[in-house]
Amino acid sequence: MKRRTAVAVAVALWASFAAAPAALAADTWPTKPITLIVPFPAGGSTDAVARLIALRLGERLGKPVIVDNRAGAGGNLGTDLAAKAAPDGYTLALSTSGPLANNKYLYKSLPFDPVKNLAPVAAIGEIPVMIAVGASAKATTLKEFIDLARTQPGKLSVGNPGNGTLGHLTAELVKAQAKVDMLSVPYKGDTPAMTDVLGGTIDAVSMPLTSLVANVQSGKLKALAVTSTKRSAALPNVPTAIEQGINVESTVWFAVVGPAGMPASTVERLNKEINAILATPEALAKLAQFGATPIGGTAQQLAQLMAADSAKWKKVIETAHIQID
């Protein structure tokens, strides 16, 4: 009996020693710099927000957080690098709703699965899509524009920043919800679409609010609606689509994710620190600079957001037969 007891004690001690390195690693993380991949070029809104998050997160963790811009394939390239990294908490990505929710239905060969290969960490913020028309247009609200489109099926044109972009998907969702026929016109970016709506070549544009604010404020464009659940602080006089009876919610959101399999303690620590950063006046001001509002919340809430947006846009993409590659 004594021998059995001694063996049991020895086994228990061995187990505790074997578990010690893992526990120690969780307690001491991070011990080296962290890489935050931004899957878009430097200088854009996602990059600017990422650099602030990286700076303040590094201060809070006691180790540098280095931004690494890896642009390409609509954000898929950089997000894929994060998905394939070691799940040790030292490689993260600040990606957007495209790679994290809708791109898997737009690209035939997406090299990663957002659900299976990524670990949600924390949602950062969101920017609503805005639908706007030229200053001389008859319509002053989205409802009026839709009523006008009903009198001219397939005639009114709505430009967007590119095939499969959220501006494009939003316009298709408006058409489906309102049961109206309008012509979607994809461009190669915001600027050419903006040029054509200002010049009267197209009737309207659908794109993230950030690109439209200046021309709306100057009176060169009329904002018909924003597609967030609440009005944007950047243009508080512009009603939402939902207020006008058109059940459309559409925002570009960005979030921090890591490779699947990251330790739960690391995810929890990152989530806690990022939420604390988002609550600061500095972060709120940086988001507001781009017409964005903070989201925050738990990692589980980010997972739910990814799943909900994925299901919504899957239906729109399939119905409109949208494909990029």
Q: What is the pLDDT of residues 241-272, one digit of tens each?
A: 999 999 999 999 999 999 999 999 999 999 99
**What is the separation, in whole angstroms, between the first and last Cα of the chain?**
70
Within 8 A by CB and 6+ apart from 26, the residues are 263, 265, 266
Neighbours of 84 (CB within 10 A): 12
The pLDDT value recorded for residue 94 is 98
Residues 6+ apart with CB under 8 A from 31: 63
Domain with CATH 3.40.190.10 in the chain: 128-244
Coil, strand, or helix at residue 174?
A: helix
Dig out the tokens for 210 from the structure: 């950030």
Question: 134 to each of 131, 196, 242, how far by Cα in Å?
Answer: 11, 10, 22
Of 210, 230, 223, nearest to 144 (Cα)? 223
> What φ, ψ does residue 241 adopt, rounded to 5°?
-65, -40
pLDDT of residue 27: 66
CA 3 to chain centroid: 61
* pLDDT tens digits along 29-54: 999 999 999 999 999 899 999 999 99
- At the top level of CATH, the class of 128-244 is alpha beta
Which one of 3.60.15.10, 3.30.1280.10, 3.40.190.150, 3.90.170.10 gives the CATH number of domain 33-126+252-320? 3.40.190.150
158, 203 contact by CB (below 8 A): yes
Instruction: Report pLDDT for 325.
Output: 74
Low-confidence ranges of the chain (pLDDT < 70): 1-27
Q: How far is CA 128 from the centre of its chain?
A: 11
For residue 74, the 8-state DSSP code is G
CATH 3.40.190.150 domain range(s) in the chain: 33-126+252-320
Tokens 């200088």 label which residue?
A: 43
